[in-house]
Amino acid sequence: MSNTASLSTIHQHIMWNRLISVVEEQAQTLVRTAFSTSVREAGDLAAGVFDRQGRMLAQAVTGTPGHINSMAEGVGHFIAKHPVDTMEPGDVFITNDPWFTSGHLHDITVVTPTFYRDRLVGLFANTCHVVDIGGRGFGPDARQVFEEGVTIPILHLFRRGAPNATLLDLIRANVREPQQVVGDIFSFAAANDTGAHRLQSMMAEFDIEQLDDLAEFIFENSRQATIERIRAIKPGTYCNELTMDGYDEPVTLRAALTVGNGGIHVDYAGTSPVSSHGINVVLNYTKAYTCFGVKCAVAPDIPNNYGSLLPITFSAPEGCILNAPRPCAVAARHIIGHLLPDTVLGCLHQVLPGGVQAEGSASLWNIQLRGGSSVSPGHGYTGERPAFEMLHFNSGGSGARPRKDGMSATAFPSGVRGMPVEANEAITPVIFWRKEFREDSGGAGAQRGGLGQVIEIGGADGMPFDVLAMFERVDNAPRGRNDGGDGATGRVTLASGAALRPKGQQTIPPHGRLRLEMAGGGGFGHPHDRPAERVAEDVRNGIVSVSSARTRYGVALDADGCVDDAATAALRRCADSEQDLGTRLKHKDTLR
Amino acid sequence: MAAEEIRLAVDIGGTFTDVALEIGGAFHTAKTLTTPEAPEHGVLQGVREVLQRAGVQPQAVTTVIYGTTLATNLLIEQKGSATALVTTEGFRDVIEMRNENRYEQYDLDIDLPTPLVPRRLRLPVRERLNARGEVLLPLAEADVAALIPRLRSQAVRSVAIGFLHSYMNAAHEEQARDILLAALPDLEVTLSSEVSPEMREYERISTACANAYVQPLMSRHLRGLQQQLADAGLRCPLYLMLSGGGITTLETAVRFPVRLVESGPAGGAIFASHVARQLGLDAVLSYDMGGTTAKICLIDDGAPQTSRSFEVARVYRFLQGSGIPLRIPVIQMVEIGAGGGSIATLDALGRVAVGPESAGSEPGPACYDRGGEHPTVTDADVVLGRIDPQQFAGGRIVLDHDKAADALLHGVGKRLDLDAGGAALGVSEIVDENMANASRVHAIESGRIVENRTLIAFGGAAPLHAARLAEKLNVRRVVIPPEAGVGSAIGFLRAPVSYEVTRSFYQRVTSLDVGAANALLDAMRAEALAVVEAGAAGRPLSETRTAFMRYVGQGHEVGVELPVRIHTPRLEPNAPAVLLAAFEGEYRRLYERSIPYLEVEILTWVLLVSTADEAPAPVVEPAQAVAVPPSGGQRRIVDTVTGEPLTAPVYQRRDLPPGAQLTGPAVIVEDDTATVVSSRFRAQVHPLNYLVLEHLAPQDAVDRH
């Protein structure tokens, strides 16, 4: 190959790298300028660049999968309503329609066309969670989307550089924090501008007029690389079923995953119908977490874009909870959506060598609190009751991996971050009395499931307040794999012990404390295959109790906490003789 | 500086210990191998060498400034002392829970950073303050006393105490310390309210744990070094280089050893800042590329950008979130796995990828011919003609061109249908692109841009790549200082004696309690002055005060300098209006808009006292241009933009007098490195021996064939 030809190959690699860097700059601008805690502290955002056909070229590393992949779908809807040939410099578009983008009204998507040498060459988009969108707010209690807040159809946010003042007035009039929400919307538009400037200078540097050739290069390479990975998997159909708590009745997620013809298809036929409350999932969001689950297990290192997502397809019957029609309520759709990677991984576990991680707590435990005399009944409380709204993201344990323990109190599949207690207490009249690992909540196994956590929150000075509960895995534990034990189920109570409903708005009475105990991850492999010394170390660290060490792991400890070898051998031998050794040996083989 | 001052700087790096001696404006330098088991040995050897070379008696040295990676290494290798954490009941897992995030989205197999203090030594006691620092639960003294036998039996040498909201009220932490010390007088105790008195429990307590974790060994090492230097005749004061870019006394360093982390790179940034001031450059990008990593730092108006947070010991490809957060004053820079030893591979999509894995010094790049088989950036530089295999490291190491070419062909070229030259081009372009991308993202994170800055390049590998990096960043001017090989140590000599004090004190600007703010600032000033005066030797001091402010509801603060100085130390009653205007100005500068109607809040106050800068260095006019003949023959190099081979004349840097001017393509060689002047640059030697490269093309032309 001549040097010029080799240089052009290398330039394509470089421009691809550059695009990923450009969208990262876009995302960093979002993080720095946004008001909403969920964007700036928690990283509940997505940023990406698209070609003229609305196909995603690159996404920022910063961000969360539910947003990224559903934003990838969403840009097509903008183009369908406003064809690219009608877009003009200075135009910016906006929507929060759950069915066009990421599945609930709190997520606003802003799309900006980019022009180079007077021609539209691509589009920048971002999807971010705003602090409030009016209506009932971020909770599962609504029965129709109309109750959940204000819907912004696909509209111009700016037309040829001029803001859509009517729209902004309407939004201001309908949300609880108008200045912050409108401030956020402006920062979303500014972040897209940052990306656009970068893209334009890249095109000047490499002297290209359009992105079409680069797009084909990226898509084709990514698609081929993904297909190669899929071809390495034994063809067939692998089924899995997960039962979730749901709002007021259990929800079944059923998946048949078919590997073949250079693709993976996930069919959700047999999944429960829509719920009468706000835990329903739109197709975009189903696609987002389905693809994420497959990609993690099959092609984690291939950049996420239109091409790498092409070989992964899915179907969900209309009217099932994963393909909810308008006007179903959808605000707390993450509860179900976050379970999809576990559903898909359960299929892939049957065919991938070594298996994949056990089930985890999965659904974020988002603590949405609301206070003030117009919100909660006083129950005789006479002190001051300032109005407030608080959102705090929290995670239980993730599932044990084939060769590593699960991660404690760490989000999977969501990509959001938790927030400091001190920062929250500084701006919200609540006190966190406890936030720490939950002992014995990790599923027992050769590899232990990650621990859940316990949180206790009271009102400052004993003030009553409301919780908009949306907590999953209270009735259904994260399951272990290959004889690994289940993680502990979650619990939602008052610190006094009285049970609360895991879903729905409820009042924490004066001087009461909300106690949340999050689920632990499932274990992987038989607990008796965990080296006794590691169990003893877990006991020393207060992660596993002495009695669990004995009953679940078959490890006996002496008074100093050291392993009693003889007693341990006896415990393990005795238990092993009672169970089917054959299954265990088989699983041990798959571990190797 | 008084004429009789003789100052000595020592920088212990991972591979080399650099020593620089300054006497009457002249430098004498030495490089010795670092002796990790007993770092003092390498130091003393280097010091003896340089003193001998300069003909200076040890007793004549007036100041020693010392920087070390030892604290960093203890954290990376987890080789600190057995440490316990005493913390608020209900919150013992703060340092292990981190921010509940996976730093990598798609990799299911990541390892989270191991906490420095294991859970069994994270010891809860009953106590609680609220966010205003008011006591909700008094400290249960019996809980603290009950820990004493445990600390004894577990042989704990060092304890961190970190309670919630202690940045507002340190009383409980101090009370707990007093109880422990009364029973265990030899225990070393770190209070989170002293080491990092800022809101955000994870960062603050993590910093306290890191400080406690390295304290016993650092204290022993520093005191031991002082003794050994004294035994060798150097009885002058010993100063320590801090990560924030200042130097401090031994006593302060022993108290807060965590502030010594990454002091070497800080020295490099100070070095570049000094160069910027000497040349009168107000917008600079400092670029330090060595064997393993490249460090990039923004320098505005002669001062490096600083920050209050840093992450050490990243376990996963230098990825943010995979390390231990430290909330300490640091020079803000981005470090990426891009150095001469960085290994090139093809990724899953057959794309060229470089780093962060490094061939290190053993086995080293393939061209070292010491068993390294993977192609590295240095191998690419050899194949592209930038490094003369016979002249590497002043000719001390002879490199093998064919080994380099083979490695590139097998590791990269074959699968892409490229010959060794094409593969080398790819590796070089990708590593330069990685550095350019990291620079741009780094700049945007702090609301700045890299275009039109001047690049100051130092470290062994930087001058080879600087011109191309500059082109990628649309930077028009590159400066290669002399003594670039020991830039960090020279930076130590330029660093002021300084100390920074930080406090969280939440205020809405409109209802600012001016009296309380003044009281706080007075206390901070007293604390900083006490530390700085101990080492300032009567030199004049300067003071900077910064309030970190944001719109209510935002998460990121903007630092706003307070319009008060050492001579007018108090906020006036009109402070709210003044602060608001200053905040809005800074916000507009960063984000091109301010937001009406929103309230502004102050979270953190920072006060820095330092010895005043030496008189601003003169901006010396460029010397009269002189044309010079090549002094080192010719060489074939490949132009990275066109991919075409060119014949380039070679110049010896030492033969180029001030004013010497030449136009690329050219290579200017010196002992430790070589500067590649591409055909789009002109180079000129500045009167102070800086090599200054200027881009030839007009400002906005797209430089393509």
The DSSP code for A440 is T
Query: What residues 433-472 of chain A have any CB closer than 8 A to a CB of chain B?
Result: 433-437, 453, 456, 460
Share of chain A above pLDDT 70, in %: 96
pLDDT at B553 over 70: no
Mean local confidence (pLDDT), B29-34: 78
Chain-chain contact of B643 with A425 (C-beta, under 8 angstroms): no
pLDDT at B678 over 90: yes
Cα B163 versus chain centre, distance: 29
Q: What is the DSSP string of B610-670?
A: EEPPPSPPP-PPPPPPEE---SS-EEEEE-TTT--EEEEEEEEGGGPPTTEEEESSEEEE-
Mean pLDDT of chain B: 88
pLDDT at B704 over 50: no
Report whether the peptide linkage leading into residue A300 is cis, meaning its omega lies within 30 degrees of zero.
Answer: no
CA distance A45 to chain B (A): 13
Ranges B154-163, B334-343, B563-572: which has the least confidence = B563-572
Closest partner CB to A301 (pick from B347, B429, B704): B347
State the Cα–Cα distance between residues B283 and B656, nearest whole angstrom: 27
Domain with CATH 3.30.1490 in chain B: 498-611
* Residue A543: predicted pLDDT: 96
Q: Which residue of B has its CA nearest to A308?
A: B349
In total, the C-beta contacts within 8 angstroms joining chain A to chain B are 224
Q: Cβ contacts (< 8 Å) between A456 and chain B: which residues?
A: 90
Q: Which residue has the higher pLDDT, B565 or B523?
A: B523
Kindly tell me the burial class for residue B568, based on how many C-beta atoms sit within 10 Å of its own C-beta (0-12, 13-18, 19 or more): exposed
Look-up of token digits 């409903």: A501
* Residue B700: predicted pLDDT: 42
Q: How confident is the model at residue A548 (pLDDT cuts 50, 70, 90)?
A: very high
CA distance B536 to chain A (A): 37
pLDDT at A288 over 80: yes
**pLDDT digits over B176-216, tens only?**
999 999 999 999 999 999 999 888 999 999 999 999 999 99
Query: What residues 21-60 of chain A have any CB closer than 8 A to a CB of chain B?
Result: 21, 24-25, 28-29, 31-37, 40-41, 43
CA distance A22 to chain B (A): 8
Which spans in A41-125 are helix H? 65-81
Topology of B498-611 in CATH?
Dna Ligase; domain 1 (3.30.1490)
Closest partner CB to A415 (pick from B94, B105, B352): B105
Give the highest mean pLDDT range of A76-85, B74-83, B235-244.
Answer: A76-85
Q: How confident is the model at residue B335 (pLDDT cuts 50, 70, 90)?
A: confident
Q: What is the DSSP string of A150-174?
A: ----SEEEEETTEE-HHHHHHHHHH
**pLDDT digits over A401-459, tens only?**
999 999 999 989 998 888 899 988 988 899 999 999 999 999 999 999 999 999 999 99
Mean pLDDT of chain A: 93
Closest partner CB to A426 (pick from B199, B555, B597): B199
State the Cα–Cα distance between residues B643 and B648, nearest whole angstrom: 14
pLDDT at B475 over 90: yes
State the Cα–Cα distance between residues A366 and B105, nearest whole angstrom: 19
State the Cα–Cα distance between residues B381 and B376, nearest whole angstrom: 9
Of the candidates A505, A529, A508, which has an alpha carbon nearest to the alpha carbon of residue A465?
A508
> Which tokens is B540 given?
């004049």
Ranges A331-335, A424-428, B475-479: which has the least confidence = A424-428
Closest partner CB to A426 (pick from B105, B131, B597): B131
Q: Cβ contacts (< 8 Å) between B550 and chain A: which residues?
A: none
* Residue B262: predicted pLDDT: 86
Chain-chain contact of B425 with A411 (C-beta, under 8 angstroms): no
* Residue B672: predicted pLDDT: 77
Count of CB atoms within 10 A of residue A126's CB?
30
* Residue A592: predicted pLDDT: 36
Q: Which residue has the higher pLDDT, B43 or B14?
A: B43
Q: Which residue has the higher pLDDT, A344 or B440?
A: A344
Please state the pTM of the whole predicted model. 0.91
Q: Per residue, what are the HEC states of A373-406?
A: CCCCCCCCCCCCCCCEEEEECCCCCCCCCCCCCC
Chain-chain contact of B433 with A14 (C-beta, under 8 angstroms): yes
CA distance A364 to chain B (A): 11
Of the candidates A32, A38, A211, which has an alpha carbon nearest to the alpha carbon of residue A115?
A211
Beta-bridge partner residues of B669: B652, B674
- DSSP 3-state of A483: coil
Closest partner CB to A40 (pick from B96, B120, B554): B554
Q: Which residue has the higher pLDDT, B288 or A40?
A: B288
Query: What residues 539-558 of chain A have any CB closer than 8 A to a CB of chain B?
Result: 540-543
Q: Which residue of A has its CA nearest to B426?
A: A10
Chain-chain contact of B130 with A431 (C-beta, under 8 angstroms): yes
Beta-bridge partner residues of B458: B288
Chain-chain contact of B430 with A17 (C-beta, under 8 angstroms): yes
pLDDT at A588 over 60: no
- DSSP 3-state of B77: helix
Topology of B82-210 in CATH?
Dna Topoisomerase Vi A Subunit; Chain: A, domain 2 (3.40.1360)
CA distance B534 to chain A (A): 35
Chain-chain contact of B643 with A4 (C-beta, under 8 angstroms): yes
Identify the residue among B85, B99, B100, B469 best suited for mutation to test binding to A, counting A beta carbons within 10 A and taking the highest. Answer: B100
Query: What residues 218-237 of chain A have any CB closer than 8 A to a CB of chain B?
Result: 221-222, 225
pLDDT at A479 over 60: yes
Q: Which residue has the higher pLDDT, A547 or A584?
A: A547
Domain parsing of chain A, residue ranges: 3-210, 232-354, 357-525, 528-591
Q: How confident is the model at residue B586 (pLDDT cuts 50, 70, 90)?
A: confident
Please tell me whether the interface predicted TM-score (ipTM) of this complex is above 0.85.
yes
Q: Cβ contacts (< 8 Å) between A33 and chain B: which residues?
A: 554, 591
pLDDT at A353 over 80: yes
Closest partner CB to A35 (pick from B99, B107, B554): B554
| Residue A374 forms contact with B (CB below 8 Å) | no
Total length of chain A? 592
CA distance B614 to chain A (A): 36
Identify the residue among A2, A3, A192 best suited for mutation to test binding to B, counting B beta carbons within 10 A and taking the highest. Answer: A3
* Residue B591: predicted pLDDT: 67
Q: Which residue of A has its CA nearest to B419?
A: A1
Chain-chain contact of B199 with A393 (C-beta, under 8 angstroms): no
Q: How confident is the model at residue B703 (pLDDT cuts 50, 70, 90)?
A: very low
Closest partner CB to A13 (pick from B89, B108, B430): B430
Domain with CATH 3.40.1360 in chain B: 82-210
Q: Cβ contacts (< 8 Å) between A420 and chain B: which residues?
A: 199-202
CA distance B126 to chain A (A): 11
CA distance B428 to chain A (A): 10
Angle of CA points A570, A572, A574, to nearest 5°: 65
In contact, A396 and A419? CB cutoff 8 Å: no
Mean local confidence (pLDDT), B227-252: 92
pLDDT at B1 over 50: no
Query: What residues 274-293 of chain A have any CB closer than 8 A to a CB of chain B?
Result: 292
Q: How confident is the model at residue B564 (pLDDT cuts 50, 70, 90)?
A: low
Q: Cβ contacts (< 8 Å) between A176 and chain B: which residues?
A: none
Chain-chain contact of A296 with B106 (C-beta, under 8 angstroms): yes
Beta-bridge partner residues of B667: B650, B676
* Residue A401: predicted pLDDT: 98
Query: What residues 392-421 of chain A have any CB closer than 8 A to a CB of chain B?
Result: 393-395, 401, 403-404, 407-412, 415-421
**pLDDT digits over A241-274, tens only?**
999 999 999 999 999 999 998 999 999 999 999 9
Mean local confidence (pLDDT), A144-171: 97
Count of CB atoms within 10 A of residue B146's CB?
12
Q: How confident is the model at residue A33 (pLDDT cuts 50, 70, 90)?
A: confident
